[in-house]
Amino acid sequence: MVNLALWMRREGYSPATIKDRTKNVKRLFLQLGTLLDGDSVKDWVANQSTTGGTKLNILKAYGCYCKWKGYKFQFPKVQDTESPLPFVPQELELDQLIAAGGKKMSSVLLMMKETGCRIGEVLRLEWADLDPETGVLNIRAEKGSRNRQCKISPRLVAMVMRLPRKDKRIFPGVVNSLRTNFGKVRKRLSIKLENPRLLKVHFHSFRHWFACKTYWKTRDILYTRKVLGHRDLQSTLRYTQLVEWKADDSYHSKAVKSTVEAEQLVSQGWEYVVTTPDQTMLFRRRS
């Protein structure tokens, strides 16, 4: 696998492609015990109860292995099956999960909710990527997506700045341990609130929610594609097939006069609206 990965890197394959294809080649070897029989590979793939896209990825990985070894491999026809529509949780459910986590977990989840980042992109964030004064965040993409910038809320900036700086990354650690911890939080909360839907929420569900919110708020598929970092427009179009979200125009409002009270509201997620002639500052937040 190491030699295959080195060859793919010399051939210009992306790190994400190298990782995915070496994983699938290893999977084939563990299942079949040999990689010399292309017909056995075809039979095994054909009998898998997965989507056509997954089968094609496995065959591409084997085709890459054959190219490296100098073998001939004739790709079979793969019947593509339509991928299921993504599960999109309610905003309340996401907020409940965010509130149930610890300092680091809550910051990671809120980061995904506000930016639509993949978990890998969040874990790659460095302190140098964040301007705490303006809230501007540089996102270095993964999986062949595009780099992009976004602005995060003062609340999230404050949460991030309270985290310890023991690494150049904002959220040091590995995704598997974070995913395990999130699973525990999700299970505990689903029992407490008697809501089995929470068990269906994964890290990528935050991205699904962000994509739907952005598209139905703007009705601009190109803008949605841009903020998600998609290269392929087809990836973005999946979210237009979901039920249309209705705009929620109901707000709570608060009026304060001191800067201390205003700072507290901003840290709690309230949105500044205007300052009246008598110097009263008005804030609002969705119901």
Do 262 and 184 fall within a single domain?
Answer: no
Residue 170 has pLDDT above 70, yes or no: yes
* Percent residues over pLDDT 90 in the chain: 40
**Residue-level length of the chain:** 287
Q: Residue 128's pLDDT is what?
A: 95
Mean pLDDT over residues 62-67, rounded?
Answer: 90
What mean pLDDT is reported for the chain? 86
Confidence bin at 169 (pLDDT 50/70/90): very high
pTM, full prediction: 0.66
- Do 138 and 270 lie in one domain? The reply is no
74 inside domain? no
Domain that holds residue 260: 251-286
Cα–Cα distance, 126 to 118 (Å, whole number): 15
Do residues 136 and 218 both lie within one domain? Answer: yes
What pLDDT score was predicted for residue 184?
Answer: 95
Bridge partners of 150, per DSSP, are 137
pLDDT at 81: 56
Identify whether residues 41 and 115 lie together within a single domain: no
- The amino acid at residue 182 is F
Q: What is the DSSP letter of 21?
A: H
The reply to whether 217 and 107 lie within a common domain is: yes
Residue 185 covered by a domain: yes
197 Cβ neighbours under 8 A, 6+ residues apart = 89, 90, 93, 190
30-43 tens-digit pLDDT: 988 888 888 888 88
Average pLDDT for 79-95: 79
Q: Which of 69, 104, 120 is the endpoint of a domain? A: 69
- Whether residue 247 is predicted with pLDDT greater than 60 in this model: the reply is no
The pLDDT confidence band at residue 244, using thresholds 50, 70 and 90, is low
pLDDT of residue 286: 63
In a domain? residue 214: yes
pLDDT confidence tier of residue 132, bands split at 50, 70 and 90: very high
| Backbone dihedral angles phi then psi of residue 282, each to the nearest 5 degrees | -100, 135
153 and 212 housed in the same domain: yes
Q: Give the pair of three-digit tokens for residue 245.
A: 């979200």
Same domain as 218, residue 121: yes
With beta carbons less than 8 A apart as the criterion, state whether 87 and 200 touch. Answer: yes
237 and 257 belong to one structural domain: no
| Structural domain includes residue 26 | yes
pLDDT score recorded for residue 53:
75
Q: Which of 47-56, 60-69, 199-208 has the lowest mean pLDDT?
A: 47-56
Task: Tell me the one-letter amino acid at 237.
Answer: L
CA 199 to chain centre: 17
- List of long-range contacts for 70-79, beta carbons under 8 Å, 24+ apart: 71/36, 71/38, 73/38, 74/38, 76/42, 76/45, 76/46, 78/52, 79/52
pLDDT tens across 69-81, in order? 888 888 887 665 5
In a domain, 246, yes or no: no
The CA distances from residue 78 to 42, 66, 75, 114, 257, in Å, are: 10, 18, 9, 38, 66
- For residues 41 and 138, membership in a common domain is answered with no
- Reduced to 3 states (helix: H, G, I; strand: E, B; else coil), residue 131 is strand
Domain CATH code at residue 162 = 1.10.443.10
223 and 173, same domain (yes or no)? yes
- Please name the residue that has the structure tokens 């999986």: 143
Report if residue 60 sits inside a domain.
Answer: yes
76 located within any domain:
no
286 or 158, greater pLDDT: 158
Residue by residue, DSSP assigns 164-204 as --SSSBSS-S-HHHHHHHHHHHHHHHHHHHT-GGGGG--HH
Residue 176, pLDDT > 60, answer yes
Number of folded domains that form the chain = 3
Q: Domain check: are 226 and 173 in the same one? A: yes
Q: For residue range 186-238, what is the model confidence (pLDDT) as tens digits?
A: 999 999 999 999 999 999 999 999 998 888 887 788 888 888 888 888 778 87
Does residue 129 share a domain with residue 32? no
**Weakest-pLDDT range from 24-28, 68-72, 76-80, 271-275:** 76-80
